Each structure stands twice: as C-alpha cells, then as structure tokens.
Amino acid sequence: MKDVRCPSCNVSIEPGSFGFDLVVRLGDCEIRDWERFGQLSSTNQERVLQALESGLAPREIYPLLLKLKEMGALICT
C-alpha cells in the first residue's frame, strides 16, 4: 500500500486511522406540515421519522431534511 503523508507536516498517516461523520446530529425537530410530508415516498417518510426520533440523520438524507425545513414542513430549534 502506498505511504500516505500529510501535505502540511509530512507525517505518515495510517490508512483507516481517521473517520468521517456518517451521521448528522439534529436539534429538536418536528413535522409541521403533514400534507407536504405525506408527498414523500414511504421509504423517505420512514427514514425521516427514524432520524427525528433518534436525533441522528444519515448524511445522505440531510439534503432532504434541509429542503423540508426550507419549505416549512419541518421545524427545528
């Protein structure tokens, strides 16, 4: 495997020794517009509800949550 080094300090970096956030922490959020929320596919509805329940959203649905918030269907504090 190729030696990976930091471009700033030239220290060797062990592959797999660092991680990326795979989830985004949510504040206190709730659905305000159930009619708009109901227009989502059942899969997306389920994923959004699971994220709101747990307070953690997978990165891949974060853009959807932002769009819901922008439309006023989701309120977060």
Q: Is a pLDDT exceeding 90 seen at residue 47?
A: yes
3-state DSSP call for residue 11?
coil
Residue 22 dihedral angles phi and psi, to the nearest 5°: -100, -5
Burial 9-41 (b: 16+ CB within 10 A, else e): eeeeeeeeeeeeeeeeebeebebeeeeebeeee
Work out the average pLDDT over 32-42: 95
For tokens 């959203």, name the residue.
57
Q: Is a pLDDT exceeding 90 seen at residue 70?
A: yes
Q: Is a pLDDT exceeding 60 seen at residue 19?
A: no
- When pLDDT is cut at 50, 70 and 90, the band that residue 22 belongs to is confident
